[in-house]
Structures are given as structure tokens and as C-alpha cells.
Structure 1
Amino acid sequence: MTASSTENSVDSSVSSFSKLAPLEAVLFDVDGTLCDSDPLHYYAFRETLQEIGFNGGVPIEEQFFIENISGKHNEDIAKVLFPDDHQRGLKFMDDKETMYRRLAKEQLPPVNGLYKVKKWVEDRGLKRAAVTNAPRENAELMISLLGLSDFFDALILGSECERAKPFPDPYLKALELLKVSKDHTFIFEDSVSGIKAGVAAGMPVVGLTTRNPEHLLMEAKPALLAKDYEDPKLWAALEEIDRKSGAATTA
């Protein structure tokens, strides 16, 4: 992609966000979006699978984790890892999550710029929800460790919807609970599964390239890709929303 085509793509993304004004709400995924948790999940999966002799005892590689595990709901992961013994898969997932929570309590780094965008959302009085495929115990732990328990108006779990991500159900439920319009709401996500869910729910999605490769995320059609919450491309889009909202207010 040439420099000029990249600039045009960024301009187009910024323009798509300006249509959201006046903004009503912002929705956030949790794992990899609020916190850089994928390395902890990868470690927990690798160690727990090796303990039970998965793949002949050979540790899984990060590429396997990205392609088969990252962003997916635990029920689906269990089916992928143990296609012939679903109950064993579910038991394994419980053991893995126990290890993950222990690791998270020791170290759970926020995504760069998280508290800057948190302040932006709060200063504008926007509604906000966390929407995740993680188990409730994991999600509540991460949100608490990050100091965000009082920030979110709602927590929506894929397991408590008819279908989890990549289906749109969790994001549609968030709109319903917050009583906001999809035309005035956008989403932060970091996985292919999550971006697909947001797009299917009819909202623009900011895809964060926390850990997942850009080319994979782009296939899910995010409105904008950003390195993290400090990315100038993201702030150009947010400033455009502000500008349009101001114009709408004074019109």
C-alpha cells in the first residue's frame, strides 16, 4: 500500500466515525483490549495442555494459539482441542482458567493509553459496557484489577447470550441494556472473532493490534486499526467525533 493510499484509508476511517455524532456509548472487549492478557492466556494454555500430554507432549506454538484459541468462547475452544471428548474439554478449560486467574493476579498490564481513553469517555458522559467471551469470574477479576469496576455500566458475557462472539448477540444485548443506538455507538476489539461480532451488530469497530496480526484483523473489516489507545489515528477519529458533536450542539 502506498503512502497516499494509506492516508486516504485513514481519512476514510476518520470520516466513518464522524457519522456517529452525537456519540452515545462506547463498548469494550476485555481480554487484549483493556489489558494485554494474551501472553498469560497463551502461557496457561501451553502449560496446562503440556501437563496432560496434548500434541504428544509437545508445547503448542503461539501461531496455534492465535489461529485456534484467541478471542473464542470456551465452549468452542473445548470443541477444537478435544473434538471427541467435550466433557474432558470443558474440565480442561476450568483448569486452564484457574491457572490464568492466578497469573493475572500477579501481573495484568493495561493496554497502553487505556486510562487516557477512559477519561475521554467519562468527560463526555458516555455510556459504556464491557462485552466479552471470557467467563464471568475472569472478566470481573480483570476489570477489578484494572480499577474499572465503577467505570462500566454493564458487563455482557457471551455465555449468557444465545450465541457468543463471533455472532453479534453480545453487542446487540449491550445496546439493549444501555438503551442506545448502534448508529451512535462504536466498539474497541482486538480479535478477529470480536471484530466480526461488532461488524455483524452494525457498529464501527476499532481493532487494536495488541497481539493479533494486522492482516488477520483486517479480514474481519474493522473501521480502523490502531496500535493502542495512544495511536494518533484513533485520536484523529475521536477528535472528529468531538468536532461533529460540537457542530450538532450549536446548530
Structure 2
Amino acid sequence: MKLPRQPAAVVFDMDGLLFDTESIYERAALLAAAELGQEMDSAFFRSTVGSSWPATRERLIDLYGPTFAVDELRAVAGRIFNELVEADLPVKPGVLELLDLLDALGLPRAIATSSSRATVRRHLEAHGIVDRFHHVVAHDDCQRHKPEPDPFLRAAGLLGVAPSLCLALEDSHMGVRAASAAGMMTIMVPDLIPATEEVQGLCALVVDDLHAVRLLLETGSQ
């Protein structure tokens, strides 16, 4: 396995790629729905992974009806999520080793995420890696969100690197579509959802974890 070219910068998704948050979000969402007297299954939650809140909100209204307290569901899920991550927020395998390699190679990096800037900072600070990313593009930084390319294009602009020379790392279908639309080389590291044939076609590679990404970059730099 190898990339079409060696990247000049790397753009990371956050949830499900840097941190094992998607499974925690799923648990929180299902518990919140139950607390409000509704059922939500894993299949529905996983179909929203990588989507912005406005898009997910519309899906929830379609599911539960226009009178359902969607914003209360979000608040309850947020409370439960925060309680869960306070107890344990696992970093995904290979994150620290990949960051070490990027430091050694002198490759700049950014995060492009649908989460808020405050959430990004809280998660990065929890693992002492807030200073290991040069830029963050969070939810409020773009009017259009994944699967639109805007977050990745903004990240490339902040890094000062052409999108075609950026490597995007994503775990979700929405994120892969966004990165591909931005013209970036894209590697998918599946988390909750495996790659479909369509998504595989948008990726340079699909790999098991960030250790595999590190090995690709290490080999390509030699």
C-alpha cells in the first residue's frame, strides 16, 4: 500500500479518529432518548455520524415528529456524554505515534471537525496534545459542514497548502465525502461504520488504524 504522493500537510477529523468518542456519543444518545421516553437504535445513530447538528436535528424531527423536544434530547445527551468522558476518554490507537512522526517530518497539521471549538480544546487538553495541532476548524468556523468540502478547504487555507497536497484522515462516510470533494488524498480509518464501495472509491486507502497511516508516511519519506 502507498499513497499517490507524499503529503505536505495532514488534516485530521476528531471524533472517532483521534478519540474513541463516537461509541460514547452513541451510548449517550440512546440513553437520552430513553430518558425522554423514546427509542433510538444504533443503526439510526450511526447513520448520522459525521453530520452537523442542523442536519441531524432534521433527521430527528423526521423520526420523532415535529412536537418532539429535539433540543432537549441534545442537551440530555450532552450531559450524559460529558459524564461518560469525564470518567474515561480513550485516545485511538496510533495517535501519539503518528503525531511524533509528523513532528519528525516537519509536516503541519490541522483538525477539521463538526464539534465545537470548546469541545475540541477540552478533548485535546485532556490528553495534553492541544499544542500538537497548528490549526482547528470547528463547527462554527464554516457555514456549510461535512459532507460539503468547506471545513477541509478552510483547513488547507490555514495551513497554506494546496488541498491536493493535503492528506485527510477520516472515520466517517460524511467526512470522506467532504475531504474527497475538497480534492484531498483521503485515508479512511473506519470506526463504527465500515467503508462502503462508494466510500472506498473516494479514498486513496482504507486502513485499520493510525499505526498503518504512520507506516505509510514513514515508508514514503524514506
Please report the TM-score for the alignment, with normalisation by the length of structure 1: 0.80
Aligned to 2:186: 205
Structure 1 residue 220: Cα displacement: 6.3
Amino acid aligned to 1:185: C
Match of 2:69, SS state, is helix
2:36 to 52, 71, 77: 52
Structure 1 position 88, deviation (Å): 3.4
1:129-208 matches, cutoff 5 A: 129-208=110-189
Equivalent position of 2:59 in the other structure: 80
Task: Compute the displacement of 1:66 (Å).
Answer: 1.2
Sort the Cα spacing of 1:120 and 1:217 in 2 relative to 1 into closer, same or farther, 3 A.
Answer: farther
- Relative to structure 1, is the Cα distance of residues 164 and 209 closer, same or farther in structure 2, using a 3 angstrom cutoff? same
- CA deviation string 1:184-235 (max 9, x = no partner): 210111000111000000001110022212337735622111111123xx34
Among residues 66, 69, 85, which one is paired with 2:46 in the alignment? 66
The letter of the residue matching 1:44 is A
| Aligned length in residues | 220
Q: Is the CA contact (8 Å cut-off) linking 1:168 and 1:201 kept in structure 2?
A: yes
Q: CA deviation at 1:52?
A: 1.1
Contact 2:200/2:206 (CA < 8 Å) preserved in 1?
no
Matches of 1:71 and 1:174, distance apart in 2 = 17
Asked whether the equivalents of residues 173 and 195 of structure 2 are also in contact (C-alpha less than 8 Å), the reply is: no
The SS at the match of 1:214 is coil
1:20-65 per-position Cα deviation (integer Å, ceiling 9, x unaligned): x3x32111000000011111101110010111122xxx3x222222
In structure 1, what is the equivalent of residue 220 of structure 2? 241
One-letter amino acid of the counterpart of residue 44, structure 2: F
Residues 186 and 204, structure 1, Cα contact 8 Å, conserved in 2: yes
The answer to whether the Cα contact below 8 Å between 2:36 and 2:73 also exists between their aligned partners in 1 is no
CA gap 1:93/1:86 in 2 versus in 1, 3 angstroms: farther
Residue in structure 1 matched with residue 81 of structure 2 by the alignment? 100
Gaps of 5+ in 2: none
In structure 2, which of residues 101, 105, 119 is the aligned counterpart of residue 120 of structure 1?
Answer: 101
Runs of 4 or more, structure 1, over 6 Å off, are: none
Unmatched 5+ stretches in structure 1: 1-9, 244-251
The answer to whether the Cα contact below 8 Å between 2:16 and 2:22 also exists between their aligned partners in 1 is yes
What TM-score comes out, normalization by structure 2 length?
Answer: 0.90
